[in-house]
Structure 1
Amino acid sequence: MEPEDLPRRGRFVGREHRFPVRVFFEDTDLSGVVYHANFLRYMERARSDMLAMAGIDQRQAWGAGQGVYVVADLSIRYRRSAKLDDDLLVVTTLKKVATATVTIHQRVMLDGEILTDATVLAAFVQSGGGRPKRQPREWLTIFEGLLEE
């Protein structure tokens, strides 16, 4: 497979993760703007990409029975709509790391303007049981290196 045939990936700029998203017809509602829940999808993709690029293998952790991240709390503010063919950028930064959680700030942007602003509390939980559990030490070290100053 050629590099240009691979799905879009994000990148780190300093401690900030940037993930490009293009708005497709399926993302829009009857009025021609992005359906509000799709902003959550864009942010989820960006968080997953950020973890992978930072060296955190969620699939391996799940398969090994280590645990998985779940959204424990979410606060979101919609400021402006996005439309078909808009090239958006999801900007993700880490705000706080605790034993079993990480607080993540995300902005969906268009040409430098914030369209959607969210704070996500992701909790690491046991596979199958859903009870909070300590994040792997290596992951905490990675997160501490990415914390916004």
Structure 2
Amino acid sequence: MGHQFDLRVYYEDTDLAGIVYYANYLKFIERARSEWVRTLGVDQAALKARDGVVFAVRRVEADYLQPAVFDDLLQVRTVLLELTAARLVIEQAVYRGDVRLFEAKVVLVCLAGTGRPVRLPKGLRERLISG
């Protein structure tokens, strides 16, 4: 089970060689994570306002396997691997058709406004488990 997010490569996403600039893959997977959480019915702005809770990337392990180029239609696939009281570990991969171009293991932490780790709100935890 997981989430899929489609996107197109625009000229602004590429470098002088005409391939997707490496840092843009991190933007692509960030967009996909935001859309994944949205499809679970989580409003991150409301979560911050109501509970004082935000997500932050703690760690990213990334592998660049093959390049994407201008006008490619890509798909980011997101899968929850692990969920603890205050941390999520997810796998994200970028595909062009059946070809895996990029993969990342991302560790997210739940933080209070003070920057200290806090437990995921119960309702959010349940949505992540069932979603």
State if a TM-score over 0.5 links the two structures. yes
What are structure 2's unaligned runs of at least 5 residues?
none
The residue aligned with 1:4 is: none
Residue equivalent to 2:50: 64
State the alpha-carbon separation in 2 of the partners of residues 130 and 76 from structure 1. 25
Cα deviation, residue 142, structure 1 = 1.2
CA shift for structure 1 position 63 = 2.1
**Equivalent residue letter for 1:141:** E
- TM-score if structure 2 supplies the norm length? 0.97
Structure 1 runs not aligned, ≥5 long: 1-14
Counterpart position of 1:136: 121
Greater RCO (CA < 8 Å, at least 6 residues apart): 2
Q: How does 1:1-149 map to 2 (within 5 A)?
A: 15-127=1-113, 129-146=114-131
Q: Whole-Å Cα distance in 2 between the matches of residues 118 and 136 of structure 1?
A: 26
Write the letter of the residue equivalent to 1:102.
L
- Number of aligned pairs? 131
Q: Secondary structure at the match of 1:134?
A: coil
The Cα shift of 1:61 comes to 1.2
Whole-Å Cα distance in 2 between the matches of residues 81 and 37 of structure 1? 12
How many Å separate the matches in 2 of 1:92 and 1:65?
A: 25
The normalised TM-score by structure 1 is: 0.85
Identical pairs, percent = 34
> What stretches of structure 1 move > 4 A for 4+ residues in a row?
none
Write the distance in 2 (CA, Å) between the matches of 1:35 and 1:81: 9
- Equivalent-residue separation in structure 2 for 1:140 and 1:106 (angstroms): 19
